[in-house]
Amino acid sequence: MYKFKNNISINQIIIIITSLYICLDLYVGSFGFLPYWTIKGTLIIIDILLCLKICLGLRRYIKINLFEILWFFFFLAILFSMIINDSVYTTTILRWSVLLLLLFFFKGKEKDYSIAAKILIANGIIQSVGVFLELFFYNKWWLLVNTILAKSGIDVYQTIIRAQKNVNYLSGFTHNAGFTATYIVNAIFAVFLIKDKLKKPLFFFLIALFDASLIMTGKRGQLLFLLVAYAIMYIVKAETVRKGIKACLKVAALLGIAYIVGYVLYITINSDNNILYRVLKLIYDKSISDKSSGRYELWNQAIIEIKNNYLFGIGWLNYDLKYGLGVHNTYLQVLCESGVIGLILFVLALGTTVFHSYKLARKKFNEPINYVTSFYLIYFLMFGIVENAAINIEPLFMLFLLITAQLNYSRDFDFKDLHNNTCFRKGYKI
């Protein structure tokens, strides 16, 4: 492993910058706290470091998997859709170049991915604190947000008012509760990734904190998908299917009782001045439904665009530019913006990734990297039904980081040496 004089490896620099990028991209792009060119600059730096790593350490041919090839061809479909629609975006190309270089050539140790997990957890804590601050200082929060955003020069305050105050979402330090929820979900999976390195009290505290703050964002879809992933995780990890199902039934019973008790409190209190009522409102208020949030209208508009541009699409990101919002369905948006060819490649890439991850996980499922990657894939597939998982870069980067980690833990790897961190690819030393 090539290291600098201060003993920081190229791997660690890459993983730190990449993780920070995942956490900070939103604040640069949406809030304008830094010039937008810093996003491109960060991506270029990561690309240069990855290329440097390849030049320093590539010894011979590295086996390429089918799903990696399919992701590359999906990127080509994205690029082609942009070219024929005269809408080439440098940032999109740079993002995908980082993703693909990570997937094809990055070889990390357990320590490197632990660093990434800790950064994502730290970001999750920050986002959770923001949600709690907004909850407890609800009215003063708007004055603070308005002041900050006014300095940024970006007019997103009205978006926040519409998304939070009128629809009762809590987004904390972001302008969109969906982004906040995504950051928190990423942190939850990161906690499970380094579960064995955390003391039990700290582990349960972090999970409780993130689950509570996720509930308070009001993003019920993400909460539901996470619960489904939880349930599947415990069923699969249980010694027998019967024990797993029994455990899930107990959890379901507790959740059912909690839901009934919460609803009774909700209809009893009925006062926005009460903190508990505002939390319960996020769960029980039927006005916060997918139908009222306009998803059906966005889907119908996407279908109209697909009918007119079904083969190659309208161009990557052009739906957002044309209508001001994404489709809020990954599969529809991919079809709309990259056409039938793009969707086929996306489904094939995602499907073969799931299959390959499952094959790797079967070798030793109880290893955190295996079950965490497996269940993030389950979450990602469901998340894509109501959000833009392939457009909003945070979940996609998280997916590729986990897949890359799983590959590195599994390629030419002897599981009996797991505790020695012997996770090197054959013929690839840096």
Task: Kindly write down the DSSP assignment for every residue of 121-148, as one continuous string.
Answer: HHHHHHHHHHHHHHHHTHHHHHHHHHHH
Q: Do 248 and 305 belong together in one domain?
A: no
The pLDDT-based confidence of 4 (bands split at 50, 70, 90) is: very low
Q: Which candidate, 303, 331, 335, 336, places its Cα nearest to that of 319?
A: 336
For residue 423, being part of any structural domain is answered with yes
pLDDT at 416: 40
How many domains are there within the chain?
2
Which of 389, 407, 334 shows the shortest CA–CA distance to 77? 334
Check residues 16 and 158 and name the one with the higher pLDDT: 16
| pLDDT level of residue 168 (50, 70, 90 thresholds) | low
Instruction: Give the tokens for residue 320.
Output: 């957002």
The H-or-E segment that residue 213 falls in is: helix 200-217
Residue 187, pLDDT score: 93
Handedness of CA 297, 298, 301, 303 (dihedral sign): negative
Q: How confident is the model at residue 351 (pLDDT cuts 50, 70, 90)?
A: very high
Q: Is the predicted pLDDT of residue 60 greater than 90, yes or no?
A: no
Band the pLDDT of 265: cuts 50, 70, 90. low
Would you say residue 376 lies in a domain?
Answer: yes
In a domain? residue 408? yes
- Residues 427 and 375 both lie in one domain: yes
Cα torsion 166, 168, 171, 176: sign:
negative
Angle at 208 between CA 202 and CA 120, to 5 degrees: 70
Question: Helices (DSSP H) in 30-166: which residue ranges?
Answer: 37-57, 66-84, 90-105, 110-136, 138-152, 157-160
Report the pLDDT value the prediction gives residue 130, as an integer from 0 to 100. 86
What letter represents residue 148's amino acid? I
Write down the pLDDT at residue 2.
43
Last residue within a domain, chosen from 287, 314, 333: 287
For residues 349 and 232, state if they share a domain. no
Q: Residue 13: pLDDT above 80?
A: yes
Look up residue 88 and give its DSSP letter.
Answer: -
Check pLDDT > 90 for residue 144: no
Q: Which two tokens stand for residue 106?
A: 């990055």
Distance between CA atoms of residues 148 and 33, nearest Å? 9
Q: What is the pLDDT of residue 74?
A: 94
- Does residue 6 belong to any structural domain of this protein? no
Q: In angstroms, what is the C-alpha Rg of the chain?
A: 22
Instruction: Tell whether 229 and 272 lie within a shared domain.
Output: yes
3-class secondary-structure state, position 152: helix
Note whether 185 and 193 are within 8 A (CB): no
377 contacts: CB under 8 Å, gap ≥ 6 = 353, 354, 357, 399
pLDDT at 348 over 90: yes
Q: What percent of the chain is modeled with pLDDT above 90? A: 13
Tell me: do 325 and 225 sit in the same domain: no
409 contacts 367 by C-beta, under 8 angstroms:
yes
Task: Please give the residue range of the domain that contains residue 281.
Answer: 221-287
In a domain? residue 226: yes
Within this chain, do residues 259 and 295 fall inside the same structural domain, yes or no?
A: no
Q: Could you tell me where the DSSP H helices lie in 270-411?
A: 275-284, 295-308, 318-323, 330-363, 368-383, 393-410
Nearest to 112 by CA among 194, 198, 224: 194
pLDDT band at 300 (very low <50, low <70, confident <90, very high): confident
Cα-Cα end-to-end distance for the chain: 4
Are 238 and 331 found together in one domain?
no
Per-residue pLDDT at 166? 47
**What's the length of the chain?**
430
369, 297: one domain: yes
306 and 427 belong to one structural domain: yes
Q: Is residue 89 situated within a structural domain?
A: yes
The token pair at 164 is: 């939070």
In terms of domains, do 339 and 381 share one? yes
Is 17 within 8 Å of 9 (Cβ atoms)?
A: no
Q: What percent of the chain has pLDDT over 70?
A: 71
Average pLDDT on 300-323 reads: 85
Quickly count: other Cβ atoms within 10 Å of residue 224's Cβ: 12
Rounded Cα gap, residues 230 and 40, in angstroms: 36
Q: Is residue 148 part of a domain?
A: no
pLDDT, greater one: 286 or 9: 9
**Same domain, yes or no: 252 and 380:** no
* pLDDT on residue 343: 93
158 closest CA partner among 145, 170, 173: 145
Identify the weakest region by mean pLDDT among 267-271, 276-280, 290-294, 313-317.
Answer: 290-294
Domain final position from 268, 287, 306 = 287
Is residue 199, in this structure, part of any structural domain at all?
Answer: no
Same domain, 421 and 332: yes
The answer, yes or no, to whether residue 151 has pLDDT greater than 50, is: yes
End of a domain among 236, 256, 287? 287
Burial class (CB in 10 A: 0-12, 13-18, 19+), 40: middle
Dig out the tokens for 315 from the structure.
């161009």
